[in-house]
Every structure is written in structure tokens, then in C-alpha cells.
Structure 1
Amino acid sequence: MINVLIIEDDPMVAKFNAIYLESIPGFSLAGIAENAEEGWAFCQSVKVDLILLDVYMGDKTGLELLQDLRREDISVDVMIITAANDKQSVQTALHYGAVDYLIKPFSFERFQEALTNYAQQRSKMKDIANVSQEEVDSFFLKSGKEPFARPLELPKGLTTRTLSVIVNQILKREPTSFSAADLAMETGISRVSVRKYINHLAEMNLLQVEVIYQETGRPLHRFYLQPGKVSILKSLLN
């Protein structure tokens, strides 16, 4: 199991990243720190394999913390997750050995790809003394992808307030299924907007979807809360 520390000063972002993380097999949340100082202290007392690190945080930036970690030769991998999209920040992260750089907002698919690739590379390096050139190339070459292409954005118009309204209604309906039309009628939010939110929750593996074909042949998407996810969904209430 790969133990991960999230260092992020926005509680909601940290919560979403934790949910994303724990939906990916092989990863375990070691803890959440609100700033660089808390993150540094955590690393001194708990074994951490990977840090998901924000850049802009209070008095000390994540990049400064990354430099401190390297200066003190602390053996931990770091993945930058930030809104900082300037060239200097990217170059600094690369210089100090960040394993990936995700620019906010990002999709779950991009997040999953970053962690999956990290786990695969970590597994390759485990228990081997020497590597071939082909293996080295697999670590450093990027299969023709643009290394710093901006990932897909989350659904437009996504807000904490509206998410809370929709989540609250889903919890009221649990364990029965629902459609976007059901939630739209009950919350007063447009069906188009509701669909964006519930599709996002399904993408986070909090909801499962069933497609039912009506007599007209048109598909109806009905959603169910994933077993064991009630507490996680409640944590999203604002």
C-alpha cells in the first residue's frame, strides 16, 4: 500500500483529493496537512511514500517545502497539484524531482492516470539493482504526450453550494434510485445542471448508474448510491 499525505490549504479541495485517492486501488491516505509547516512535521513522524502538494499556501509555498525535503534528503516522492501554471513553477518542480504536475482544475481521469503511472513506475523500481536502457526509457519518456498539457476541467458551473443541495437530496432518497429529472424536480435546479453534478459524483465512484431502455427506445439513466459511500457523501455537505 502506498501511503499518501495531502498538503492543501483549501479544505474542500483536500477532501475531494482524498476521495479521489481512496477510490484508486493500492493507495492509502496517511493524512491531510493544511500548510507546509504541518506537512513538514507530519513527515518527521509518519512514514509517507508520496505527497500531493499544493504550491500557494500561507507563509511558505509548496515548492519551498519541496526544496527543504530534498535539502534534508528526506526520501519521499512529491506530486504537485496546484493552480500555478507559470513556467518557473513547473521548472522548479522538475528541478527538485516532482514525479508529476497537475494543474487545477483537473479531471478524475487525469488524477487517476498520474497515480496509476506513479504506482507502476514505483513497482518497476522495487527490488531491482540494475536496469536496462529500455527500462530507463520507460521511466523518462512520455509516449509522445505533451508533458504539460492542461487537463480537462471539471463540469462548468460546479459550486459547493449547489453540490450540497444535490447531495442532501440524494441522501434523503437513499437507498432508492433516482434520475436527473427526479432531483431536478425536488431541488428546483435545472435538469442539465443536475446531470453535471451526478455525473461528476459517478465519476468519483460515489454513484453507480443503470441504463434502462423505455418503450420508446430512449435510454433512462438511473443512479444509485454506491454501497458503503454514505459517510463520504455526507462529508461533501457544506
Structure 2
Amino acid sequence: MIDVLIVEDDPMVAEVTTNYLKDVAGFQLVAHAKNVEEARKALTHYPHIRLILLDVYMPGENGLTLLTELRQQRVAADVIVLTAASDKESIQTALRHGAVDYLIKPYQFERFQEALMHFKKKQTIWTKEEPVSQQELDELWFRKDAEKNAKIDLPKGLTKETLGQVWQAIERVGQNSFSTEDVALHACISRVSVKKYLTFLLEWEVLELQPTYGSIGRPIHLYKLKYEHKQRIKAFL
């Protein structure tokens, strides 16, 4: 999991950002600061923070002041700026001091997700043992095929097409609990295959398991869609 600090003075905006963050797998919020001074304290208390979601306009010091400090002190945390500041000076200052992305409020969840998935892709490249290829660098710096970069590779043995069929079947069920057989019937896919995809969606907390018992006491595994995490499926389709 990538530990995240949100620096935002508006409580409503901070709540929206927090909810967005919950819908992007692989990230967890460890602290929320309402100003630059609180952010400094949070970074001292949580040195393992690797991503800062930073506002610019806040009471007291400007958020870009913190960004400048981080680079001068070589703090090992990257910054995505989330702000209403659309003036060229703020944007240029942020980029010159190493902001990895800049989102102007109001932004859509899809753009937020893309920014975080692009950041996550970078982290994957930096931590792998193999040398970095030119193609990987091109994708990082020039963001070739941004939509592709916003996706996450499926585990071996699973395909985007079949996941799409399974997902359509789940959506047809709606708010009701369903079994492997229900999805297999709607998707016209074998129960063995469907089981693999349901297990995958359980791991990503898109579904939750609701064990019940049949007439002879054997457990029957029923699933239910977790609507608060529904957005996560977009990273795979």
C-alpha cells in the first residue's frame, strides 16, 4: 500500500478527496493536514508517506512553499497538486519543483484515478530489479496512451474481455446477493471460470462474501456488490 497525506483546508473537499482515494486500490490515507505547518508535522510523524495530495490556497503559507521545501530537503515523497489555482505562475512553479501531476478543481474521479495510477506505475518501475526500458521511460515522461497507463494488468489467467462479461452479469443482478451459478448463467461462462473472477473481485474488495447455509448445513457462498468500491473496476476494463 502507498501511504498518502492530504493537505487541504476545506473539510468538504478533503472528504471528497478521501472518498476518491478509497476507490483507487493500492493507496491508503495516513494523515490529513489543514495547512502547511500541520503537513510538516505529519511528514515528521509519518516518514513513510510516499504521496502528498496538495492544495495551493490555504490559510497561512501557500502550499507551493511546502513543495519547494520538500525538494530542497530531498524528502522521499512525491506531490500531486489538487487546487483551484489555474494561473500559469502556480502551475509552472509546481512543475519546476517536481510535482508529478497538477489537477485543477473541480476535476472528475476518472482524472484523479489516472493521476494515481500513473504514479503507481512509476513506483512499480522504480522498485523492480530489472533495468528500466526506454519504452517505460517514454510512457512515464510523455504519458503515451494515458488511458492505458490508467489501467492495471490483470493476474495471469484472467482476461479483460471475460472480466467484462462477468461484470455485466453482476450489474444485472443489481443490489441482490448472487451465487457463482447466477453469474455463470447470465454471462454464459463456466462456473469454474466465473469463480476465478469473483475471487479476484473479492480480493479488490469490489465484492463482499455473504456465507449462508443450505438445507443440509453446507455453506453456500453468496456475493454482493460493494457500491462504495464500484469505481475500482474501471482500472481493469
TM-score, normalised by the number of residues in structure 1: 0.60
Partner of 1:41: 41
Summarize deviations over 1:5-45 as a string: whole Å, max 9, x none: 10000000001100100111111011111001100110011
Q: Is the 8 A contact 2:118 2:140 kept in 1?
A: no
Partner of 1:123: 124
Identical pairs, percent:
45
Query: In structure 2, what is the Cα distance between the partners aligned to 1:72 and 1:98?
Result: 15
Query: In structure 1, what is the Cα distance between the partners aligned to 2:78 and 2:129?
Result: 18
Q: Is the 8 A contact 2:2 2:27 kept in 1?
A: yes
Q: Which of structure 1's runs of 4+ aligned residues deviate more than 2 A?
A: 127-135, 142-145, 225-229
Query: In structure 2, what is the Cα distance between the partners aligned to 1:94 and 1:228?
Result: 36
Kindly tell me: are residues 124 and 37 of structure 1, through their superposed partners in 2, closer, same or farther at Cα, counting changes over 3 Å? Answer: same
Summarize deviations over 1:54-83 as a string: whole Å, max 9, x none: 000111111110001111111101000000
Q: Residue type matched to 1:57 in 2?
A: M
TM-score, normalised by the number of residues in structure 2: 0.60
Partner of 1:196: none
Partner of 2:62: 61
Summarize deviations over 1:70-109 as a string: whole Å, max 9, x none: 1111110100000000111111111111110000000111
Whether 1:81 and 2:82 are equivalent positions in the alignment is: yes
Query: In structure 2, what is the Cα distance between the partners aligned to 1:45 and 1:122?
Result: 22
Partner of 2:172: none
Structure 2 unaligned residues grouped into runs of 5+: 147-174, 177-223, 229-237
Summarize deviations over 1:92-138 as a string: whole Å, max 9, x none: 11111111000000011111111111111211121347423222212
Partner of 2:9: 9
Q: Is the 8 A contact 2:7 2:34 kept in 1?
A: yes
Partner of 2:212: none
Query: In structure 2, what is the Cα distance between the partners aligned to 1:13 and 1:22?
Result: 14
Partner of 2:29: 29
Deviation at 1:228, TM superposition (A): 8.4
Matched residue count = 154
Summarize deviations over 1:175-199 as a string: whole Å, max 9, x none: 99xxxxxxxxxxxxxxxxxxxxxxx
Q: CA RMSD in A?
A: 2.5
Whether 1:139 and 2:140 are equivalent positions in the alignment is: yes
Whether 1:107 and 2:108 are equivalent positions in the alignment is: yes
Query: In structure 1, what is the Cα distance between the partners aligned to 2:115 and 2:133?
Result: 24
Kindly tell me: are residues 226 and 60 of structure 1, through their superposed partners in 2, closer, same or farther at Cα, counting changes over 3 Å? Answer: farther
> Secondary structure at the residue paired with 1:102?
strand
> Secondary structure at the residue paired with 2:3?
strand
Q: Is the 8 A contact 2:139 2:145 kept in 1?
A: no
Greater share of residues in helix: 2
Partner of 1:95: 96
Whether 1:70 and 2:104 are equivalent positions in the alignment is: no
Query: In structure 1, what is the Cα distance between the partners aligned to 2:138 and 2:54?
Result: 26
Q: Residue type matched to 1:68 in 2?
A: E
Partner of 1:164: none
Query: In structure 2, what is the Cα distance between the partners aligned to 1:112 and 1:70?
Result: 25
Query: In structure 2, what is the Cα distance between the partners aligned to 1:138 and 1:107?
Result: 22
Query: In structure 2, what is the Cα distance between the partners aligned to 1:127 and 1:144?
Result: 22
Summarize deviations over 1:195-226 as a string: whole Å, max 9, x none: xxxxxxxxxxxxxxxxxxxxxxxxxxxxxx97
Query: In structure 1, what is the Cα distance between the partners aligned to 2:225 and 2:9?
Result: 29
